[in-house]
Amino acid sequence: MDLQRGIPRTCDCGAATIVLTSGTIKNPGRRFYRCGANSGQNHVFKWLDEDLAAIKAELDDMKKDITEIIKIIECLRMKS
């Protein structure tokens, strides 16, 4: 699993990350999280919905894997 996914508790600079709601016209009410101390290229900034979409896609993949594993287990059971 990609360790970059999910909400990091701290930024690379060591400051805690904070969750905020965007108030811009372009992204009204959109939630994001960022470095609590600084903003800039080397600090955490991520849209929450983009991250959730990535996590959901990963979960869907896992579900498919689990379904496959269950099928294999059932096959093995039938043989024994």
Residue 53 CB, nearest approach to Zn ion (Å): 24
Our CA angle for 40, 57, 53, nearest 5°, is: 40
Distance in Å, CB of 51 to Zn ion, minimum: 17
Residue 66: in which H helix or E strand, if any?
helix 48-79
Residues found near Zn ion in the complex (CB under 5 A)? 11, 13, 15, 35, 38, 43
What is the distance between the alpha carbons of residues 63 and 12, in angstroms, rounded to a whole number? 32
Cβ nearer to Zn ion, comparing 27 with 38? 38
CB of 9 to Zn ion, least distance (A): 12
Return the closest-CA partner of residue 18 out of 49, 40, 39.
39
By beta-carbon proximity to Zn ion, the closer residue of 37 and 66 is 37
